[in-house]
Structure 1
Amino acid sequence: MSDEFRANLTRAALGTAGAAALGIGYASLIERNAFALREVTMPVLEPGSSTLRVLHISDLHMMPGQRLKQNWLRELDNLDPDLVVNTGDNLSHQRAVPAVVQALGNLLARPGLFVFGSNDYFAPKPKNPLKYFRKEHKRVLGEPLPWGDLRAAFTERGWFDVTHVRRDLEVSGVRIASAGVDDPHLKRDRYDTIAGPPNPLADLRLGITHSPEPRVLDRFADDGYDLVLAGHTHGGQLCLPFYGALVTNCDIDRSRVKGPSKWGAHTQLHVSAGIGTSPWAPARFCCRPEATLLTLVPAQRGGSDADADRGRTESSESTVIRN
């Protein structure tokens, strides 16, 4: 091996190591704190309904000292949403409940619905990242978290826990039939407790779950829900340009790992990419942390079913992300 070849090999190795270090630094120091707002219009309401602005937040994974995240969350109230939906995984620390409550601030004074995820019940633990590429692997649960305290804080301020509950409410003149399940990721979902068609007089039939497992989405779709909101996936968290998410951490396909999509013949799905990360994997790449402002408008149900479906798909894809 010539000296020149060795030198070129050394330079290539150093360049690769340097690029990897820069990528890790960007993902862990910059992108995971580059919070963004996704704006989506979805035609899911009954014809003649008023427009409804829904703020969908998920996967805060809050630690007490995360000031940037807390300050950004506090500003979301300026969006003036009609309804807030929280799809779980708020906590990552035993003492994070006050930080979550303070960060949500005035949003807790607005109408709100919530379910919990695995990291509301149990603290995250370090794990081999290769496990995410296996559909079935042994789940390692951390210490119990004070989810009961968080539930009390939410409900005392007026938010409704829809875990295995069907609840009808009216928000800004829109009649909503809502229902939720406990976290399917931990196999805590008991859909039979809420099974059956929702209120036919509702302007919006809304399903809520933490993990978008197909077995649960199928049940919501079969019962006639217009829209299902979920989180859990973190949008893949680590993505590749032109490829997208490497994994979804559930049984949903990669194409639906974040944002709006259609599920079944008539049900729309929105999966939040989430706002936080596990403290044991504090990095995001090509997948900014986000909340979503959903503008729900009446569906165009006149004309053919094909026209209606085409209108829904086109509107669902008009997604804007901004700082």
Structure 2
Amino acid sequence: MVFDNPRNVLRGTAAGVVGAAALGVGYASLIERNAFTLREATMPVLEPGSPSLRVLHISDLHMMPGQKLKQNWLRELDRLDPDLVVNTGDNLSHQRAVPAVVQSLGSLLARPGLFVFGSNDYFAPKPKNPLKYFNKEHKRTHGEPLPWQDLRAAFTERGWLDVTHTRRELEVAGIRIATAGVDDPHLKRDRYDTIAGRPNPMANLRLGITHSPEPRVLDRFADDGYDLVLAGHTHGGQLCLPFYGALVTNCQLDRSRVKGPSKWGAHTRLHVSAGVGTSPYAPARFCCRPEATLLTLVASPSRGPKQGVRTGVSRSSAVVR
């Protein structure tokens, strides 16, 4: 019987681990990061008797001028023929990215749209120690200011509505929508008191919008009787493990709701987009493909009283009942 030298075994094992890690990094940064996908979900949030409403939820583009694959994929989304587009922020990652965002969204800007901004609309990303994401209270650091005013002007000139700290009402595809939004809670810019109060009870849909799905903000929307809240920011965890899911959410939200539809309290539904992009300083995704979501909103079979409950349930399947 021939025994291998223990040092050779250790060296072989180490080489195997390093090789597997290199393959994983290559896959996450070169393949999955650009494996854009469309998710679809049906959510029963409308008043009984309402027709269905197709909502395209996009978030976290983190656009750089040269990202042609991402830009071309975004241009194709208009073929989905959504009734409404909701953009939950973090569109920019570069000083010169505004034209790329506007051109990529293309014909979607001619459709009814609502938006709020996130931290990476206001400030450019900076290199970070990735271990900071495991500390939910870590100190925020900001890069150079980004031209968010130019992006806001481009969106509003084409008819999209900025719902930052504003309550608005609109009618889309026969659906009367009462909507409101807050500025980015991740930067603690949210001022919910500016929109506090129950939305129009005559609306078919009461829609809340925020970039970061911080529970303190979700609780306020639920307490005021909103049917649905849309958010982004989490990137779905960005780096996930099979059979475990997201390692972090980058906010106070629990990991079970890091992406997709879920319930928040007794009467409010939540949808968190895993987003389309990544920071240029962390250009990788694993078990968490970049995405946009086409939500089909349908009538709820039963609508309870409009009051919030501060306890939630775990993330549900793609159809929230």
User: Normalized against structure 2, the TM-score is what?
Assistant: 0.94
**Superposed CA offset, 1:8-44 (max 9, x none):** 1111111000000000000000000000000000000
| Amino acid corresponding to residue 4 of structure 1 in structure 2 | N
Residue of structure 2 equivalent to 1:59: 60
Residue of structure 1 equivalent to 2:190: 189
State the distance in 2 between where 1:37 and 1:174 align.
Answer: 24
Structure 1 residue 76, shift from structure 2 partner: 0.2
State the distance in 2 between where 1:318 and 1:20 align.
Answer: 32
State the distance in 2 between where 1:301 and 1:3 align.
Answer: 69
Secondary structure of 1:38's counterpart equals strand
Secondary structure of 1:14's counterpart equals helix
Matches within 5 A, 1:225-304: 225-301=226-302
Residue of structure 1 equivalent to 2:111: 110
1:68 matches 2:64: no
Give ranges in structure 1 of 5+ residues lacking alignment.
306-312
**Superposed CA offset, 1:160-214 (max 9, x none):** 0000000000000000000000000000000000000000100000000000000
Residue of structure 2 equivalent to 1:166: 167
State the distance in 2 between where 1:185 and 1:277 align.
Answer: 16
1:317 matches 2:317: yes
State the distance in 2 between where 1:278 and 1:10 align.
Answer: 35
Residue of structure 1 equivalent to 2:203: 202
Residue of structure 2 equivalent to 1:79: 80
Secondary structure of 1:167's counterpart equals strand
State the distance in 1 between where 2:108 and 2:136 align.
Answer: 36
State the distance in 2 between where 1:135 and 1:114 align.
Answer: 26
State the distance in 2 between where 1:91 and 1:236 align.
Answer: 19
Structure 1 residue 5, shift from structure 2 partner: 1.5
**Superposed CA offset, 1:301-321 (max 9, x none):** 17x99xxxxxxx9xx6236xx
| Amino acid corresponding to residue 317 of structure 2 in structure 1 | E
Structure 1 residue 137, shift from structure 2 partner: 1.2
Q: CA RMSD in A?
A: 1.6
Residue of structure 2 equivalent to 1:4: 5
| Amino acid corresponding to residue 113 of structure 1 in structure 2 | L
Secondary structure of 1:9's counterpart equals helix
1:222 matches 2:238: no
Residue of structure 1 equivalent to 2:14: 13
State the distance in 2 between where 1:58 and 1:135 align.
Answer: 21
| Amino acid corresponding to residue 196 of structure 1 in structure 2 | G
| Amino acid corresponding to residue 204 of structure 1 in structure 2 | L
Task: Tell me how many residue pairs correspond in the alignment.
Answer: 310
Structure 1 residue 138, shift from structure 2 partner: 1.1
Give ranges in structure 2 of 5+ residues lacking alignment.
306-312
Structure 1 residue 242, shift from structure 2 partner: 0.3
Structure 1 residue 6, shift from structure 2 partner: 1.5
State the distance in 1 between where 2:145 and 2:14 align.
Answer: 44
State the distance in 1 between where 2:269 and 2:244 align.
Answer: 23
State the distance in 2 between where 1:291 and 1:237 align.
Answer: 14
State the distance in 2 between where 1:120 and 1:143 align.
Answer: 11
Structure 1 residue 135, shift from structure 2 partner: 1.4
Structure 1 residue 4, shift from structure 2 partner: 1.9
State the distance in 1 between where 2:290 and 2:238 align.
Answer: 8
Residue of structure 2 equivalent to 1:309: none
State the distance in 2 between where 1:135 and 1:142 align.
Answer: 19
State the distance in 2 between where 1:84 and 1:31 align.
Answer: 25
Residue of structure 1 equivalent to 2:179: 178
Q: Percent identity?
A: 84
Residue of structure 2 equivalent to 1:143: 144
| Amino acid corresponding to residue 211 of structure 1 in structure 2 | S
Structure (1 or 2) with the greater helix fraction: 1
State the distance in 1 between where 2:202 and 2:211 align.
Answer: 26
**Superposed CA offset, 1:73-93 (max 9, x none):** 000000000000000000000
User: Normalized against structure 1, the TM-score is what?
Assistant: 0.94
Structure 1 residue 3, shift from structure 2 partner: 5.7
Secondary structure of 1:286's counterpart equals coil
